[in-house]
Amino acid sequence: MKIILKKEIANLGEAGEVVEVKTGYALNYLVPQGFAVVGTPAALKQHEETLRQRAHKEAKLVADAQALAAKIEAASVALTAKVGESGKLYGAVTSSQVAEALAAQGIDVDKRNVTLPEIKETGEYEGKVKCYKGVFATVKVTVTAE
């Protein structure tokens, strides 16, 4: 019997997969527990349509993320910080400072998606910004003395 899984089942499949199982297992356990739906022709057709729409939305999100990544890579972030006599910063440059600098340039990025190396001296650095699943951009950060 064909069923469409609603949840991940160990040794059977992931949510959204169409799998073949024994009739008793499907009708006595999976369907009553809400883990699956019987794979009738109408349900399978609706499932295929849902997958097609989901793929279309995913493609649009990836395209938007790639456009954002291109904007981030074209931008450059210049930050000033207080520096001691030895050339070291009194603090460290944080991801929130980089996110704010990008926001000032019209690029909206969440600070949790910015990954920086440890910046404790003036100079030029490169950080990574996660735009979407698997889409990353490199941001150039220049730190100068105040």
With beta carbons less than 8 A apart as the criterion, state whether 41 and 62 touch.
no
Over residues 57-71, the pLDDT tens digits come to: 999 999 999 999 999
Per-residue pLDDT at 102 exceeds 90: yes
Q: How confident is the model at residue 86 (pLDDT cuts 50, 70, 90)?
A: confident
The whole-angstrom distance between residue 86's C-alpha and the CA centroid of its chain comes to: 39
pLDDT for res 141? 94
Over residues 6-53, the pLDDT tens digits come to: 999 999 999 999 999 999 999 999 999 999 999 999 999 999 999 999
Mean pLDDT (whole number) for 118-135: 92
pTM score, two decimals? Answer: 0.70
Residue 18, beta-bridge partner list: 4
Per-residue pLDDT at 72 exceeds 90: yes
Q: For the chain, list the domains and their CATH numbers.
A: 2-64 (3.40.5.10), 65-145 (3.10.430.100)
Angle at 131 between CA 125 and CA 137, to 5 degrees: 35
Per-residue pLDDT at 113 exceeds 90: yes
Structure tokens, 24? 């008793």
- The single residue listed with the structure tokens 């910046």 is 119
Of the CA atoms within 13 Å of residue 111, those in its CB half-sphere come to 9
Q: How confident is the model at residue 117 (pLDDT cuts 50, 70, 90)?
A: very high
The mean predicted confidence, pLDDT, of the chain is 93
pLDDT for res 92? 87
pLDDT for res 87? 78
Spatial distance between the Cα atoms of 21 and 2, rounded to a whole number of angstroms: 6
With beta carbons less than 8 A apart as the criterion, state whether 62 and 55 touch.
no
Task: Say whether 82 sits in a helix, a strand or coil.
Answer: coil
